[in-house]
Amino acid sequence: MSATPVPQLGDFKAYIASIDTFILDCDGVIWQADKLIPGVKETLQALKQAGKRVVFLTNNSSKSRAMYVAKFTSLGLDVSVNDIFGSSFAAADYLRQIKFDKKAYVLGAQGLLDELTSVGVQYVGGYKEDTVNPWTSIDQGYVEDNPEIGAVVVGFDPAINYFKLARAYTYIQQPGCLFIATNHDSTFPAKGGRLLPGTGTIVSALEVAHGSNALVMGKPSHFMLDCVKTAIGYDPARTVMVGDRYKHPFCFFGIMCRFCYILLTSNNPSLLHACCSLDTDIQFGLNGNLHTLLVLTGVTSLETLQSTSNAIRPEFYTPSFADLHAGLRGD
């Protein structure tokens, strides 16, 4: 039995009238690499003038919220830090909530380090971590247990190497050590319409080695969902998630079930057997019973979206988020 095609959004005016809160992905929705998608600035301005709440979600862990404010500003967009929710922020906030009091070993860029610092988490590692000849260092016992490490936090690390993976793997095996990932995205959009390997490729290497899944903090986890809802108090029936991703490989449970989330936020998160890695914008919206709108300015093509093999389907699609400006103009 073939799946019903995802309908293209047509009546923009009526649709916008039915929505109070817009939760927007960034890469592929607002911008492509460092270039603002045409018409997006005017659409955002019109939404705010119409009294709509607009917040931004991103699984990109390389930037902190403060760094994202700077990027928005550089693109001519006025966005408050309180309206930005990133996977690095989510990971740091999780450690704050569980009153984490040990050190974290970090595979990640400056944005993740900044977010950890902002909540008082001490760390070692990071993208500037000194490395030496891996074969010599392993022979010399470089990869040794460290009882001060209570968590391995994995984000996008542009300087990843075998050496860092070996160190992270060693720490993950320590009793009680948390294995946390900012996200599980397999790719991310880069300049020229290219896709490059994402954080998920780093996380997966450690998952294969250790035989267990990381606790994923970013979309589509319920942790990120509750993080946003606590901050802005949206009504799911009048909220839409707008993104460019809808499908990733399933984890053990297929999606982030409530059982996973209860274990994730319990006092003993090590009980979690499998965390969910269906790291997508649309699944995030479905998990929260939100409206879902997919745009085609990111990683998903129309042909891919309408494939009959897709089990995850948005409510509507539109070529660009800027299309909504027509409804705001009354067209």
- Backbone phi and psi for residue 173, each to the nearest 5 degrees, phi listed first: -75, -15
Report the distance separating Cα 201 and Cα 187, nearest Å: 8
Report the distance separating Cα 125 and Cα 108, nearest Å: 8
Determine the angle formed by the axes of helices 65-74 and 110-118, rounding to 10 degrees.
Answer: 130
- Backbone phi and psi for residue 120, each to the nearest 5 degrees, phi listed first: 80, 20
CB-side neighbour CA atoms (13 Å) of 115 = 31
Token pair in block for residue 67: 């760094």
Report the distance separating Cα 121 and Cα 89, nearest Å: 12
pLDDT of residue 137: 59
Catalytically annotated residue among 27, 157, 185, 281: 27
pLDDT of residue 144: 86
25 classed as catalytic = yes
Report which residue type is found at 104: A
Token pair in block for residue 285: 């919206």
The strand pairing partners of 21, in sequence order, are: 53, 239
CA 84, 90, 94, 96 torsion: positive or negative?
negative
The strand pairing partners of 189, in sequence order, are: 195
Report the distance separating Cα 283 and Cα 287, nearest Å: 6
Residues of the chain with pLDDT under 70: 1-2, 130-142, 246-279, 330-331
Residue 281 Cα distances to 49, 94, 145, angstroms:
25, 20, 37
CA–centroid distance for 9 within its chain: 25
185 classed as catalytic = no
Report which residue type is found at 257: C
pLDDT of residue 26: 94
Residues 260, 276 contacting (CB under 8 angstroms): yes
- pTM of the complete model: 0.83
Closest CA to 279 of 193, 190, 200: 200
Lookup result for tokens 């595979």: 107
- Spatial CB neighbours of 135, under 8 Å, sequence gap ≥ 6: none
pLDDT of residue 329: 77
Lookup result for tokens 């954080």: 199
Q: Is 226 annotated as a binding residue?
A: no
* Three-state DSSP state, 318: strand
pLDDT 10s digits, 141-179:
567 899 999 999 999 999 999 989 999 999 999 999 999
CB-side neighbour CA atoms (13 Å) of 54 = 23
Token pair in block for residue 274: 């499998």
* Domains of the chain, earliest start first: 12-329 (3.40.50.1000)
pLDDT of residue 266: 45
Catalytically annotated residue among 25, 93, 157, 279: 25
Q: Is 27 annotated as a binding residue?
A: yes
Report the distance separating Cα 61 and Cα 49, nearest Å: 30
CA–centroid distance for 100 within its chain: 22
Report the distance separating Cα 290 and Cα 199, nearest Å: 26
pLDDT of residue 194: 80
pLDDT of residue 311: 78
